[in-house]
Amino acid sequence: MSLERDCALGKEFTLTTATAVQLQHVHLPSADEVQRSGRAVFTAQELSDGRMLIGVRGDVDATNRHALGRFIQRHTRVSKQLVLDLSEVDFFGSQGFTSLYYASVQCARRDVDWMVVAGRSVLRILRICDPDGELPVIEELEAALARLDHITKSRHAVAWGE
């Protein structure tokens, strides 16, 4: 197991100063990749061939917006569809919006269909930073997956002339 995973599971470690530290238990879903940055945890999970789910928990702010942007970029390289689940974000600062804008650019460049599942804290900032609703935002994960399924079916219909 990785050190990050052990930390998230509340394992006890001895630091070089010989001080024992008990870390809080944080429930993480099973994931292909887990990354901590500041007070946030990013997870990536392949849902199906070409479809990735990136989940974010905790706080997204100026301290980890770049890390989130890079994490999203890394996973847009290997997918054709991406769901960015921000429903469990506790705090989403205005600087976090830059990571969403960056994700939008990366998805457009790579022709990746994507959806953002936004919770209350994210929706609050999006009302200010994205008043015209340019980002593909939805409030429930199941609805995001259904929308991506519809996009896939529509593309196949066009490709086959249906």
pLDDT digits (tens, 9 = 90+) for 57-86: 999 999 999 999 999 999 888 889 999 999
The stretch 155-162 carries a mean pLDDT of 60
- β-pairing, 40-48 with 33-37? antiparallel
Structural domains for the chain: 1-28 (no CATH), 31-159 (3.30.750.24)
Residues in the chain: 162
pTM of the model: 0.77
Binned at pLDDT 50, 70 and 90, residue 2 comes out as very low
